[in-house]
Amino acid sequence: MADVVSHLNRLLAIHYRSLPMYLADAGMWRSSTPQDDELAKALKHLVSDYKATCSRIATAILDRAGAVEHTSYSMEFTDTNFLSLDYMLVEIIELLKRDMDEMRRIVLALGDDAEAKALAQEALGAAKAHLEILTALAAKQPA
């Protein structure tokens, strides 16, 4: 059970301390262009989904008599405070891809706990959907 809780805590950290969550907490600079408005809306939806997923993961940890580990944002994120949202899009996409790779490893590691594995698979599927939306928005960005 301890391994399952450890993997769930890692999944929680991926979501709770992601770059989009950091930007939502810190505030992001954006222009008033339609592209930035569309991107801000997509990121707001991603953050909302991540918050709901975090709640479900934390509940799963507590249901297994585990402790929710508190983590911090990456110090690298502080360098993004004054960067424009359209510039950050590429970084968000790259980090989301990296996070999805880690989520895939967590799904495999949760093989014996069907409920936890299903939760991790759902989180991975949601991340994939958000990645598709963000990638489509990136393709619309002017060169």
What's 70's domain CATH number? Answer: 1.20.1260.10
Residue percentage of the chain with pLDDT more than 70: 93
User: Which of 131, 143, 141 is CA-nearest to residue 42?
Assistant: 131
Helix, strand, or coil (residue 29): strand
Range of the domain at 101: 2-140
Domain count, the chain: 1
Q: How confident is the model at residue 141 (pLDDT cuts 50, 70, 90)?
A: confident
36-68 pLDDT, tens digit each? 788 889 999 999 999 999 999 999 999 999 999
Q: Averaged over 57-81, what is the pLDDT?
A: 91
Q: Distance (Å, rounded) from C-alpha 74 to C-alpha 43? A: 19
Q: Distance (Å, rounded) from C-alpha 39 to C-alpha 103? A: 24
pLDDT number for residue 76: 87
